[in-house]
Amino acid sequence: MITTKALPKFSRRCSFFNHRNFVPMKPILDGATTNDMAPTNSFFKSDTREAVSWSGQTRRVSQRGFLNHSRSILGWNSMEIDNVRDALRLPSLHFSTYYNDKLRRESTNKLFSSIPGYVKIVEVGPRDGLQNEKDIVPTAIKVELIKMLASSGLPVVEATSFVSPKWVPQLADAKDVMEAIRDFKGARFPVLTPNLKGFEAAIAAGAKEVAVFASASEGFSKSNINCSIEDSLVRYHEVALSASKLSIPVRGYISCVVGCPVEGMVSPSKVAYVAKKLCDMGCYEISLGDTIGVGTPGTVIPMLEAVIDVVPIEKLAVHFHDTYGQALSNILASLQMGISTVDSSVSGLGGCPYAKGASGNVATEDVVYMLNGLGVKTNVDLQKIMLAGNFIRKHLGHSSGSKTAIALSKITAHASKL
Ligand SMILES: CC(C)(COP(=O)([O-])OP(=O)([O-])OC[C@H]1O[C@@H](n2cnc3c(N)ncnc32)[C@H](O)[C@@H]1OP(=O)([O-])[O-])[C@@H](O)C(=O)NCCC(=O)NCCSC(=O)C[C@@](C)(O)CC(=O)[O-]
Protein backbone atom coordinates (compact mmCIF):
# COMPACT_ATOMS: atom_id res chain seq x y z
CA MET A 1 0.00 0.00 0.00
CA ILE A 2 1.36 3.44 -0.83
CA THR A 3 1.96 5.92 1.92
CA THR A 4 2.83 9.59 1.79
CA LYS A 5 5.79 9.06 4.08
CA ALA A 6 8.13 8.96 1.12
CA LEU A 7 7.41 12.55 0.13
CA PRO A 8 9.45 14.46 2.72
CA LYS A 9 12.28 11.96 2.38
CA PHE A 10 12.21 12.49 -1.35
CA SER A 11 12.29 16.26 -1.14
CA ARG A 12 15.29 16.08 1.21
CA ARG A 13 17.13 13.96 -1.31
CA CYS A 14 16.22 16.31 -4.15
CA SER A 15 17.55 19.39 -2.41
CA PHE A 16 20.89 18.54 -4.01
CA PHE A 17 19.63 19.80 -7.35
CA ASN A 18 17.97 22.96 -6.14
CA HIS A 19 21.02 25.18 -6.57
CA ARG A 20 21.76 24.21 -10.12
CA ASN A 21 22.20 26.98 -12.59
CA PHE A 22 18.78 27.87 -13.97
CA VAL A 23 17.81 31.03 -15.80
CA PRO A 24 15.37 32.96 -13.59
CA MET A 25 12.24 34.83 -14.63
CA LYS A 26 13.29 37.90 -12.68
CA PRO A 27 14.40 40.06 -15.64
CA ILE A 28 10.86 40.04 -17.10
CA LEU A 29 9.02 40.57 -13.87
CA ASP A 30 11.19 43.48 -12.92
CA GLY A 31 10.51 45.07 -16.27
CA ALA A 32 7.34 46.93 -15.38
CA THR A 33 7.77 49.99 -13.24
CA THR A 34 5.26 51.70 -11.01
CA ASN A 35 5.20 54.37 -13.67
CA ASP A 36 3.96 51.88 -16.26
CA MET A 37 0.80 51.46 -14.24
CA ALA A 38 0.08 55.14 -13.82
CA PRO A 39 -3.22 56.16 -15.45
CA THR A 40 -2.69 58.13 -18.62
CA ASN A 41 -4.65 59.05 -21.72
CA SER A 42 -2.19 57.60 -24.22
CA PHE A 43 -3.62 54.18 -24.83
CA PHE A 44 -0.92 52.52 -26.91
CA LYS A 45 2.00 54.61 -25.74
CA SER A 46 3.83 52.14 -23.57
CA ASP A 47 6.64 49.65 -23.94
CA THR A 48 4.52 46.92 -22.41
CA ARG A 49 1.84 44.88 -24.05
CA GLU A 50 -0.82 42.42 -23.07
CA ALA A 51 -0.99 38.99 -24.63
CA VAL A 52 -3.83 37.71 -22.50
CA SER A 53 -7.04 36.86 -24.29
CA TRP A 54 -9.81 38.52 -22.33
CA SER A 55 -12.47 37.81 -24.90
CA GLY A 56 -10.96 35.11 -26.98
CA GLN A 57 -8.74 37.36 -29.03
CA THR A 58 -5.17 38.30 -28.32
CA ARG A 59 -4.84 42.05 -28.47
CA ARG A 60 -1.90 44.35 -28.29
CA VAL A 61 -2.69 46.48 -25.27
CA SER A 62 -0.47 48.33 -22.84
CA GLN A 63 -0.85 47.85 -19.09
CA ARG A 64 -2.02 51.35 -18.46
CA GLY A 65 -3.92 51.13 -21.74
CA PHE A 66 -5.81 48.12 -20.45
CA LEU A 67 -6.83 49.93 -17.31
CA ASN A 68 -7.83 53.04 -19.25
CA HIS A 69 -9.66 50.89 -21.77
CA SER A 70 -11.51 49.18 -18.93
CA ARG A 71 -12.37 52.60 -17.57
CA SER A 72 -13.75 53.69 -20.92
CA ILE A 73 -15.88 50.60 -21.56
CA LEU A 74 -16.99 50.02 -17.99
CA GLY A 75 -17.15 53.59 -16.80
CA TRP A 76 -14.64 52.93 -14.04
CA ASN A 77 -13.11 55.85 -12.23
CA SER A 78 -9.49 55.93 -11.06
CA MET A 79 -10.41 54.67 -7.63
CA GLU A 80 -12.19 51.66 -9.11
CA ILE A 81 -9.22 50.93 -11.32
CA ASP A 82 -7.09 50.96 -8.21
CA ASN A 83 -9.55 48.53 -6.64
CA VAL A 84 -9.18 46.17 -9.59
CA ARG A 85 -5.43 46.38 -9.22
CA ASP A 86 -5.82 45.64 -5.53
CA ALA A 87 -8.27 42.84 -6.23
CA LEU A 88 -5.77 41.26 -8.56
CA ARG A 89 -3.21 41.54 -5.77
CA LEU A 90 -0.72 41.99 -8.54
CA PRO A 91 1.20 45.20 -8.07
CA SER A 92 2.96 46.38 -11.18
CA LEU A 93 6.24 44.71 -10.29
CA HIS A 94 4.62 41.28 -10.41
CA PHE A 95 2.05 41.74 -13.13
CA SER A 96 3.37 38.96 -15.30
CA THR A 97 0.54 39.07 -17.88
CA TYR A 98 2.53 41.79 -19.49
CA TYR A 99 5.97 41.42 -20.81
CA ASN A 100 8.28 44.22 -21.52
CA ASP A 101 9.35 44.24 -25.16
CA LYS A 102 12.61 45.98 -24.51
CA LEU A 103 13.64 43.62 -21.75
CA ARG A 104 12.48 40.66 -23.77
CA ARG A 105 14.70 41.74 -26.67
CA GLU A 106 17.62 42.06 -24.29
CA SER A 107 16.89 38.66 -22.75
CA THR A 108 16.42 36.85 -26.06
CA ASN A 109 19.56 34.76 -25.96
CA LYS A 110 19.30 33.49 -22.46
CA LEU A 111 15.58 33.10 -21.87
CA PHE A 112 13.35 33.29 -24.90
CA SER A 113 15.31 31.95 -27.83
CA SER A 114 14.39 28.27 -27.44
CA ILE A 115 10.77 28.69 -26.33
CA PRO A 116 8.46 27.41 -29.10
CA GLY A 117 6.10 29.84 -30.83
CA TYR A 118 3.17 27.44 -30.44
CA VAL A 119 2.44 25.05 -27.58
CA LYS A 120 -0.09 22.24 -27.82
CA ILE A 121 -2.04 21.93 -24.59
CA VAL A 122 -3.42 18.48 -23.80
CA GLU A 123 -6.33 18.89 -21.40
CA VAL A 124 -6.52 15.97 -18.96
CA GLY A 125 -9.16 17.32 -16.58
CA PRO A 126 -12.06 15.00 -17.46
CA ARG A 127 -9.80 11.97 -16.91
CA ASP A 128 -6.85 12.74 -14.63
CA GLY A 129 -8.79 15.54 -13.00
CA LEU A 130 -11.89 13.56 -12.11
CA GLN A 131 -10.47 10.07 -11.50
CA ASN A 132 -9.58 10.96 -7.92
CA GLU A 133 -12.96 12.44 -6.98
CA LYS A 134 -14.72 10.30 -4.41
CA ASP A 135 -18.29 11.30 -5.22
CA ILE A 136 -19.35 9.98 -8.57
CA VAL A 137 -19.83 12.78 -11.09
CA PRO A 138 -22.89 12.17 -13.30
CA THR A 139 -22.07 11.23 -16.88
CA ALA A 140 -24.01 14.24 -18.21
CA ILE A 141 -21.78 16.62 -16.22
CA LYS A 142 -18.65 14.93 -17.56
CA VAL A 143 -19.97 15.18 -21.11
CA GLU A 144 -20.84 18.85 -20.69
CA LEU A 145 -17.39 19.56 -19.25
CA ILE A 146 -15.72 17.86 -22.21
CA LYS A 147 -17.91 19.86 -24.59
CA MET A 148 -17.01 23.15 -22.89
CA LEU A 149 -13.31 22.33 -22.93
CA ALA A 150 -13.35 21.30 -26.58
CA SER A 151 -15.11 24.52 -27.54
CA SER A 152 -12.41 26.61 -25.86
CA GLY A 153 -9.92 25.84 -28.62
CA LEU A 154 -8.08 23.04 -26.81
CA PRO A 155 -6.82 20.65 -29.49
CA VAL A 156 -6.88 17.54 -27.28
CA VAL A 157 -9.20 16.70 -24.39
CA GLU A 158 -8.47 13.38 -22.70
CA ALA A 159 -11.97 12.11 -22.04
CA THR A 160 -11.92 9.07 -19.74
CA SER A 161 -10.24 5.73 -18.98
CA PHE A 162 -11.23 2.21 -19.93
CA VAL A 163 -9.73 0.75 -16.77
CA SER A 164 -11.18 -1.62 -14.23
CA PRO A 165 -14.14 0.03 -12.45
CA LYS A 166 -12.98 -1.76 -9.32
CA TRP A 167 -9.76 0.23 -9.46
CA VAL A 168 -11.20 3.58 -10.53
CA PRO A 169 -14.95 3.67 -9.79
CA GLN A 170 -15.26 7.31 -10.88
CA LEU A 171 -14.61 6.36 -14.50
CA ALA A 172 -16.87 3.31 -14.61
CA ASP A 173 -19.06 5.19 -17.12
CA ALA A 174 -16.26 5.38 -19.72
CA LYS A 175 -18.41 3.69 -22.36
CA ASP A 176 -21.30 6.12 -21.85
CA VAL A 177 -19.02 9.16 -21.89
CA MET A 178 -17.29 8.02 -25.04
CA GLU A 179 -20.53 7.21 -26.81
CA ALA A 180 -21.89 10.65 -25.95
CA ILE A 181 -18.88 12.50 -27.30
CA ARG A 182 -17.88 10.30 -30.21
CA ASP A 183 -19.28 12.76 -32.76
CA PHE A 184 -18.04 15.95 -31.09
CA LYS A 185 -15.93 18.03 -33.43
CA GLY A 186 -13.11 20.45 -32.79
CA ALA A 187 -10.76 18.37 -30.63
CA ARG A 188 -9.33 14.89 -30.29
CA PHE A 189 -10.56 12.79 -27.37
CA PRO A 190 -8.01 10.14 -26.36
CA VAL A 191 -8.83 7.66 -23.59
CA LEU A 192 -6.60 5.61 -21.29
CA THR A 193 -6.39 1.87 -21.95
CA PRO A 194 -4.33 -0.35 -19.59
CA ASN A 195 -4.63 -3.54 -21.66
CA LEU A 196 -6.29 -5.13 -24.69
CA LYS A 197 -9.59 -5.47 -22.84
CA GLY A 198 -9.67 -1.71 -22.28
CA PHE A 199 -8.52 -1.02 -25.83
CA GLU A 200 -11.26 -3.14 -27.37
CA ALA A 201 -13.93 -1.57 -25.18
CA ALA A 202 -12.68 1.91 -26.07
CA ILE A 203 -12.75 1.26 -29.80
CA ALA A 204 -16.22 -0.28 -29.55
CA ALA A 205 -17.44 2.87 -27.80
CA GLY A 206 -16.05 5.08 -30.56
CA ALA A 207 -12.58 6.12 -29.33
CA LYS A 208 -10.32 7.26 -32.13
CA GLU A 209 -7.18 7.61 -30.05
CA VAL A 210 -5.88 5.82 -26.95
CA ALA A 211 -3.14 6.22 -24.36
CA VAL A 212 -1.17 3.58 -22.49
CA PHE A 213 0.45 4.36 -19.15
CA ALA A 214 3.68 2.87 -17.89
CA SER A 215 5.81 3.89 -14.94
CA ALA A 216 9.50 4.57 -14.45
CA SER A 217 9.32 3.01 -10.99
CA GLU A 218 8.54 -0.64 -10.21
CA GLY A 219 6.76 0.25 -6.99
CA PHE A 220 4.32 2.58 -8.69
CA SER A 221 3.78 0.21 -11.62
CA LYS A 222 2.69 -2.49 -9.20
CA SER A 223 0.40 -0.25 -7.19
CA ASN A 224 -1.14 1.47 -10.22
CA ILE A 225 -1.58 -1.34 -12.72
CA ASN A 226 -0.72 -4.41 -10.66
CA CYS A 227 2.23 -5.56 -12.76
CA SER A 228 5.94 -4.95 -13.30
CA ILE A 229 7.26 -2.41 -15.76
CA GLU A 230 8.33 -5.19 -18.16
CA ASP A 231 4.92 -6.88 -18.01
CA SER A 232 3.21 -3.56 -18.66
CA LEU A 233 5.41 -3.00 -21.71
CA VAL A 234 4.38 -6.40 -23.06
CA ARG A 235 0.69 -5.45 -22.59
CA TYR A 236 1.21 -2.08 -24.21
CA HIS A 237 3.00 -3.66 -27.12
CA GLU A 238 -0.14 -5.76 -27.72
CA VAL A 239 -2.29 -2.63 -27.53
CA ALA A 240 0.04 -0.79 -29.91
CA LEU A 241 -0.08 -3.66 -32.43
CA SER A 242 -3.88 -3.79 -32.39
CA ALA A 243 -4.05 -0.02 -32.62
CA SER A 244 -1.71 0.09 -35.55
CA LYS A 245 -3.90 -2.40 -37.47
CA LEU A 246 -6.82 0.02 -37.04
CA SER A 247 -4.67 3.15 -37.61
CA ILE A 248 -5.46 4.33 -34.08
CA PRO A 249 -2.81 6.68 -32.67
CA VAL A 250 -1.37 5.65 -29.30
CA ARG A 251 0.00 8.10 -26.75
CA GLY A 252 2.33 6.80 -24.06
CA TYR A 253 2.55 8.05 -20.49
CA ILE A 254 5.36 7.50 -18.07
CA SER A 255 4.55 8.12 -14.41
CA CYS A 256 6.97 9.00 -11.63
CA VAL A 257 9.59 10.52 -13.92
CA VAL A 258 11.40 12.27 -11.09
CA GLY A 259 9.95 10.77 -7.93
CA CYS A 260 7.82 7.88 -6.77
CA PRO A 261 5.56 7.72 -3.72
CA VAL A 262 6.90 4.23 -3.02
CA GLU A 263 10.57 4.39 -3.98
CA GLY A 264 11.56 8.07 -3.68
CA MET A 265 13.89 9.47 -6.28
CA VAL A 266 13.76 7.96 -9.77
CA SER A 267 16.84 7.96 -11.96
CA PRO A 268 16.66 9.65 -15.38
CA SER A 269 18.05 6.51 -17.03
CA LYS A 270 14.96 4.53 -15.96
CA VAL A 271 12.70 7.13 -17.54
CA ALA A 272 14.77 7.12 -20.72
CA TYR A 273 14.56 3.30 -20.87
CA VAL A 274 10.75 3.25 -20.68
CA ALA A 275 10.45 6.23 -23.05
CA LYS A 276 12.51 4.46 -25.69
CA LYS A 277 10.43 1.29 -25.36
CA LEU A 278 7.19 3.25 -25.78
CA CYS A 279 8.64 5.12 -28.74
CA ASP A 280 9.85 1.89 -30.37
CA MET A 281 6.43 0.27 -30.01
CA GLY A 282 4.92 3.15 -31.98
CA CYS A 283 3.63 5.72 -29.48
CA TYR A 284 3.38 8.97 -31.42
CA GLU A 285 3.90 11.02 -28.25
CA ILE A 286 5.27 10.29 -24.80
CA SER A 287 4.05 12.29 -21.85
CA LEU A 288 6.48 12.49 -18.96
CA GLY A 289 4.52 12.63 -15.72
CA ASP A 290 5.69 14.01 -12.41
CA THR A 291 2.88 12.10 -10.77
CA ILE A 292 3.41 13.39 -7.24
CA GLY A 293 4.60 16.86 -8.21
CA VAL A 294 7.95 16.72 -6.40
CA GLY A 295 10.14 17.81 -9.31
CA THR A 296 11.93 21.09 -9.61
CA PRO A 297 13.79 22.30 -12.70
CA GLY A 298 16.83 20.83 -10.94
CA THR A 299 15.47 17.29 -11.32
CA VAL A 300 13.33 17.81 -14.40
CA ILE A 301 16.14 19.12 -16.62
CA PRO A 302 18.46 16.11 -16.10
CA MET A 303 15.51 13.77 -16.66
CA LEU A 304 14.61 15.53 -19.91
CA GLU A 305 18.23 15.47 -21.04
CA ALA A 306 18.30 11.69 -20.60
CA VAL A 307 15.04 11.19 -22.47
CA ILE A 308 15.91 13.58 -25.30
CA ASP A 309 19.02 11.45 -25.91
CA VAL A 310 16.85 8.49 -26.92
CA VAL A 311 13.51 9.93 -28.12
CA PRO A 312 13.05 12.81 -30.61
CA ILE A 313 12.11 15.92 -28.66
CA GLU A 314 9.07 16.62 -30.84
CA LYS A 315 7.53 13.39 -29.53
CA LEU A 316 7.74 14.49 -25.91
CA ALA A 317 5.14 16.10 -23.68
CA VAL A 318 5.36 17.13 -20.04
CA HIS A 319 2.76 16.44 -17.38
CA PHE A 320 3.27 18.14 -14.04
CA HIS A 321 1.25 17.88 -10.87
CA ASP A 322 1.54 20.95 -8.69
CA THR A 323 1.92 19.45 -5.21
CA TYR A 324 4.92 21.61 -4.34
CA GLY A 325 3.95 24.59 -6.52
CA GLN A 326 6.71 23.77 -9.01
CA ALA A 327 4.65 22.97 -12.08
CA LEU A 328 4.91 26.29 -13.93
CA SER A 329 8.64 26.57 -13.36
CA ASN A 330 9.05 23.00 -14.57
CA ILE A 331 6.99 23.78 -17.65
CA LEU A 332 9.05 26.87 -18.38
CA ALA A 333 12.26 24.85 -18.07
CA SER A 334 10.80 22.19 -20.39
CA LEU A 335 9.80 24.82 -22.96
CA GLN A 336 13.29 26.26 -22.84
CA MET A 337 14.62 22.80 -23.63
CA GLY A 338 12.37 22.70 -26.71
CA ILE A 339 9.32 20.73 -25.49
CA SER A 340 6.16 22.03 -27.13
CA THR A 341 3.37 19.85 -25.68
CA VAL A 342 2.09 20.44 -22.17
CA ASP A 343 -0.59 18.52 -20.26
CA SER A 344 -2.79 20.40 -17.83
CA SER A 345 -6.10 20.11 -16.08
CA VAL A 346 -8.87 22.68 -15.96
CA SER A 347 -9.02 24.38 -12.59
CA GLY A 348 -6.08 22.27 -11.39
CA LEU A 349 -8.32 19.26 -10.82
CA GLY A 350 -6.74 15.95 -10.22
CA GLY A 351 -4.50 13.52 -8.48
CA CYS A 352 -3.88 9.85 -8.94
CA PRO A 353 -5.83 7.46 -6.71
CA TYR A 354 -2.66 5.35 -6.46
CA ALA A 355 -0.34 8.24 -5.53
CA LYS A 356 -1.70 9.41 -2.22
CA GLY A 357 -0.81 12.92 -1.22
CA ALA A 358 -0.31 14.09 -4.81
CA SER A 359 -2.31 17.18 -5.69
CA GLY A 360 -3.92 18.10 -8.98
CA ASN A 361 -2.31 18.78 -12.30
CA VAL A 362 -1.12 22.22 -13.12
CA ALA A 363 -4.20 24.31 -13.93
CA THR A 364 -4.89 24.87 -17.62
CA GLU A 365 -5.83 28.49 -16.85
CA ASP A 366 -2.41 29.11 -15.26
CA VAL A 367 -0.57 27.51 -18.17
CA VAL A 368 -2.52 29.55 -20.73
CA TYR A 369 -1.90 32.72 -18.73
CA MET A 370 1.84 32.08 -18.60
CA LEU A 371 2.04 31.19 -22.29
CA ASN A 372 0.05 34.29 -23.21
CA GLY A 373 2.48 36.30 -21.14
CA LEU A 374 5.38 34.75 -23.01
CA GLY A 375 3.72 35.52 -26.35
CA VAL A 376 3.36 31.78 -27.11
CA LYS A 377 0.37 30.80 -29.24
CA THR A 378 -2.05 28.14 -27.92
CA ASN A 379 -5.33 29.04 -29.69
CA VAL A 380 -7.05 28.52 -26.34
CA ASP A 381 -9.64 30.99 -25.07
CA LEU A 382 -8.81 31.62 -21.43
CA GLN A 383 -12.25 32.93 -20.62
CA LYS A 384 -13.93 29.79 -21.93
CA ILE A 385 -11.55 27.61 -19.93
CA MET A 386 -12.46 29.61 -16.84
CA LEU A 387 -16.14 29.00 -17.53
CA ALA A 388 -15.50 25.28 -17.81
CA GLY A 389 -13.51 25.44 -14.56
CA ASN A 390 -16.36 27.24 -12.78
CA PHE A 391 -18.83 24.74 -14.13
CA ILE A 392 -17.03 21.69 -12.79
CA ARG A 393 -15.93 23.31 -9.54
CA LYS A 394 -19.49 24.32 -8.77
CA HIS A 395 -20.59 20.78 -9.32
CA LEU A 396 -17.81 19.33 -7.16
CA GLY A 397 -18.21 22.01 -4.50
CA HIS A 398 -14.48 22.81 -4.46
CA SER A 399 -12.84 26.16 -4.90
CA SER A 400 -10.68 26.64 -7.98
CA GLY A 401 -7.15 25.28 -7.99
CA SER A 402 -6.13 27.92 -10.53
CA LYS A 403 -4.58 31.12 -9.25
CA THR A 404 -5.27 32.75 -12.60
CA ALA A 405 -8.97 31.84 -12.48
CA ILE A 406 -9.26 33.19 -8.95
CA ALA A 407 -7.54 36.47 -9.82
CA LEU A 408 -9.40 37.03 -13.07
CA SER A 409 -12.77 36.10 -11.60
CA LYS A 410 -12.35 39.00 -9.19
CA ILE A 411 -12.15 41.35 -12.15
CA THR A 412 -15.28 39.76 -13.64
CA ALA A 413 -17.10 40.04 -10.35
CA HIS A 414 -16.10 43.67 -10.10
CA ALA A 415 -17.19 44.42 -13.65
CA SER A 416 -20.55 42.68 -13.21
CA LYS A 417 -21.45 45.09 -10.40
CA LEU A 418 -21.04 48.12 -12.63
C1 LIG B 1 -4.71 -2.67 -15.18
C2 LIG B 1 -5.74 -3.28 -14.27
C3 LIG B 1 -7.01 -3.53 -15.05
C4 LIG B 1 -5.19 -4.59 -13.77
O5 LIG B 1 -5.98 -5.05 -12.71
P6 LIG B 1 -5.90 -6.57 -12.23
O7 LIG B 1 -6.79 -6.69 -11.07
O8 LIG B 1 -4.50 -6.96 -12.09
O9 LIG B 1 -6.48 -7.21 -13.56
P10 LIG B 1 -7.08 -8.58 -13.89
O11 LIG B 1 -6.68 -8.87 -15.30
O12 LIG B 1 -6.77 -9.62 -12.85
O13 LIG B 1 -8.65 -8.27 -13.86
C14 LIG B 1 -9.34 -7.99 -12.67
C15 LIG B 1 -10.74 -7.55 -13.02
O16 LIG B 1 -10.68 -6.32 -13.76
C17 LIG B 1 -11.29 -6.52 -15.04
N18 LIG B 1 -10.55 -5.73 -16.02
C19 LIG B 1 -9.30 -5.90 -16.43
N20 LIG B 1 -8.99 -4.95 -17.31
C21 LIG B 1 -10.08 -4.18 -17.46
C22 LIG B 1 -10.35 -3.04 -18.23
N23 LIG B 1 -9.45 -2.49 -19.06
N24 LIG B 1 -11.56 -2.49 -18.14
C25 LIG B 1 -12.50 -3.00 -17.32
N26 LIG B 1 -12.28 -4.08 -16.55
C27 LIG B 1 -11.07 -4.65 -16.63
C28 LIG B 1 -11.21 -7.99 -15.29
O29 LIG B 1 -12.17 -8.39 -16.21
C30 LIG B 1 -11.45 -8.56 -13.91
O31 LIG B 1 -12.82 -8.45 -13.62
P32 LIG B 1 -13.52 -9.52 -12.63
O33 LIG B 1 -13.30 -10.83 -13.27
O34 LIG B 1 -12.82 -9.40 -11.32
O35 LIG B 1 -14.94 -9.04 -12.61
C36 LIG B 1 -6.02 -2.38 -13.05
O37 LIG B 1 -4.88 -2.31 -12.28
C38 LIG B 1 -6.45 -1.02 -13.44
O39 LIG B 1 -7.51 -0.83 -14.02
N40 LIG B 1 -5.62 0.01 -13.13
C41 LIG B 1 -5.91 1.37 -13.52
C42 LIG B 1 -5.38 2.31 -12.50
C43 LIG B 1 -5.58 3.71 -12.97
O44 LIG B 1 -6.43 3.99 -13.79
N45 LIG B 1 -4.78 4.64 -12.44
C46 LIG B 1 -4.88 6.01 -12.75
C47 LIG B 1 -4.39 6.31 -14.17
S48 LIG B 1 -2.62 6.46 -14.32
C49 LIG B 1 -2.31 8.06 -13.87
O50 LIG B 1 -3.18 8.73 -13.40
C51 LIG B 1 -0.98 8.62 -14.14
C52 LIG B 1 -0.98 9.57 -15.37
C53 LIG B 1 -1.28 8.80 -16.64
O54 LIG B 1 -1.97 10.56 -15.23
C55 LIG B 1 0.38 10.24 -15.52
C56 LIG B 1 0.92 10.82 -14.23
O57 LIG B 1 0.35 11.74 -13.64
O58 LIG B 1 1.96 10.29 -13.84
Q: Where are the alpha helices (H) located in 312-363, listed in sequence order?
A: 327-336
- What global pTM score does this model have? 0.79
The best mutation among 158, 163, 217 to test binding of ligand 1, ranked by most ligand atoms within 8 Å of the C-beta, falls on 163
pLDDT at 33 over 60: no
Q: Which helix (H) or strand (E) holds 211?
A: strand 210-215
Domains of the chain: which residue ranges? 6-16+114-398, 26-106+410-416
Fold of 6-16+114-398: TIM Barrel (3.20.20)
Specify the 3-state DSSP secondary structure of 362.
coil
**For the chain, what is the mean pLDDT?**
79
CA of 199 from ligand 1 middle (Å) equals 12
- The pLDDT tens digits for 191-203 are 999 999 999 999 9
Q: Comparing 360 with 70, which gets the higher pLDDT?
A: 360
CA-closest candidate to residue 38, choices 5, 1, 85, 74: 85
Provide the percentage of residues in the chain whose pLDDT is more than 70. Answer: 72
Nearest CA residue ID for atom 50, ligand 1: 352
CA of 135 from ligand 1 middle (Å) equals 19
- The pLDDT tens digits for 115-160 are 999 999 999 999 999 998 999 999 999 999 999 999 999 999 999 9
Can you point out the beta strands (E) in 242-359?
250-255, 259-260, 264-265, 285-290, 316-320, 341-344
